[in-house]
Amino acid sequence: MRTQVAIIGSGPAGLLLGQLLHKAGIDAVIVERRSRDHVLSRIRAGVLESGTVGLLDAIGASARLHEEGLRHDGVELLFGGRRHRIDLSRLTGGRHVTVYGQTQMTRDLMDHRAASGGVTVYEADDVEPRDFDGGKPFVSYRKGGVAHRLDCDFIAGCDGFHGVSRASAPENAIKTFERVYPFGWLGILADVPPVSHELIYAGEARGFALCSMRSATRSRYYVQCGLDERIEDWSDARFWDELRARLDPASAEALVTGPSIEKSIAPLRSFVCEPMRFGRLFLAGDAAHIVPPTGAKGLNLAAGDVHYLSQALIEHFREGSDAGLDAYSARALARVWKAERFSWHLTSLMHHFPENSPFEQRMQRAELDYLVSSDHAMAALAENYVGLPY
Ligand code: APR
Ligand code: PHB
């Protein structure tokens, strides 16, 4: 089989890239390790920057997003027993975010790809990017025990943090940067109305908590937990009690609880690999970088990478110019590092670090007190939260 661009991974990055290329008349084949249903079974974050929405608009896959997505013009920070609203819209000249589950977005992209005749090979085994340092790259894989070769002009490694693409880069050509945080997030999904119409980021002494949602009837909550915590030790009742203990009295009172649909613990890390290009192999999304979910940047960074990469590939095939491809890594990394900074900063600000001295704990509180007292400081948070420009 032959295609112009072989995409490894059918998550948000791979699907968005495939459909942006399709819109430009460029052929792409996605090779995915898991089944369609497995990919859709993953519960991920749900805050979209306007740039991400714009890309979905551009490919014509945003109808349900505009129908069901929730426009949010503000977020709240809770500390010292009080909630403080950050007016995103006022502080950014009218910009906002849209709350819409990543699972829904992935489903919309899969449906759009199927309707447009895009080829996705699911349940492919032993997927490998090959000969990308030369002029004739290809992807090898096995399907149903039969070996396949997908010849292409370029390979997009959209296969996430644990994928094969970054692992295939020459060791002497790649540099990685990482911070693993001394805690994780215990998350619950439940069909109960959200405690508030906007997100609440809580940073009390007991630990971080986040009140989010998927719709007016489905809520997503998180509490910071130790890395040694096991999900089987967390009954729904224990989770709800801990969440209440990390909220202000009024919110704790208003909280509607119910049986969990999903409950899981995820570790937090900051990670970047440089560069994001190795010959004819280009990395995009979690394959190249990871952010702690505090800033809701993971999905949106994947969209930004794919915006740059799709533009560069279109320029190559349409105009025969490789300027965009040559600039891709530096251009993407410039935006990645700013989002890494924001996500690390908000994580450092809102979480309880067991190793922090009393002085450092006071510094955290002083940062928060200053933040909510200064329009300038809040504007800086707001412009990062709604998304820096591409
Ligand atoms: N071969 C083929 N596919 C693979 C391989 C492999 N060796 N390894 C992983 N994959 C697939 C995974 O099964 C997954 O469907 O690649 C896809 C990667 O998708 P994501 O991990 O979702 O990464 P990305 O598309 O970059 O999206 C980033 O999704 O995971 C969230 O928090 C993340 O919000 C961020 C966004
Ligand atoms: C979510 O709804 O899952 C979510 C929202 C905001 C975040 C992280 C996760 O910062």
CATH number at residue 293: 3.50.50.60
pLDDT band at 95 (very low <50, low <70, confident <90, very high): very high
| 341, part of any domain | yes
Residue 211 pLDDT: 98
Pocket test for ligand 1, best of 15, 130, 139, 159 (most atoms within 8 A of CB): 159
User: Residue 105: CB within 6 Å of ligand 1?
Assistant: no
| 236, part of any domain | no
| 353, part of any domain | no
Residue 99 pLDDT: 97
User: Residue 288: CB within 6 Å of ligand 1?
Assistant: no
- Count of the separate structural domains present in the chain: 1
| 69, part of any domain | no
For 121-180, the pLDDT digits (tens) are 999 999 999 999 988 999 999 999 999 999 999 999 999 999 999 999 999 999 999 999
Q: Say how far apart CA 232 and CA 330 lie, in whole Å.
A: 43
Alpha helices in the chain (DSSP H): 12-23, 36-41, 50-59, 63-68, 88-91, 102-115, 236-245, 249-254, 298-319, 323-350, 358-373, 375-386
Ligand 2 atom closest to the Cα of residue 212 is: 2
Known catalytic residues?
A: 72, 201, 293, 297, 385
Residue 213 pLDDT: 96
User: Residue 324: CB within 6 Å of ligand 1?
Assistant: no
pLDDT band at 47 (very low <50, low <70, confident <90, very high): very high
Do β-strands 97-99 and 70-72 pair in parallel, antiparallel, or remain unpaired? antiparallel
| 116, part of any domain | yes
Q: Say how far apart CA 175 and CA 166 lie, in whole Å.
A: 11
| 364, part of any domain | no
Residue 135 pLDDT: 87
Which residue is closest in CA terms to ligand 2's atom 3? Answer: 45
Residue 309 pLDDT: 98
Contacts of 36 by beta carbon, 8 Å cutoff, 6+ apart = 10, 110, 120, 122
Is the pLDDT reported for residue 280 higher than 90? yes
| 94, part of any domain | no
Range of the domain at 340: 5-48+101-178+269-347
Is the pLDDT reported for residue 42 higher than 90? no
Residue 44 pLDDT: 83
Which residue is closest in CA terms to ligand 2's atom 7? Answer: 296
Pocket test for ligand 2, best of 88, 210, 213 (most atoms within 8 A of CB): 210
For 338-376, the pLDDT digits (tens) are 999 999 999 999 999 989 999 999 999 999 999 999 999
Report yes or no: 149 and 193 within 8 Å, Cβ to Cβ. Answer: no
For 215-228, the pLDDT digits (tens) are 999 999 999 999 99
| 226, part of any domain | no
> Concatenated DSSP letters for 242-300?
HHHHTS-HHHHHH-----EEEEEEEEEEEEEEE-SEETTEEE-GGGTEE--GGG--HHH
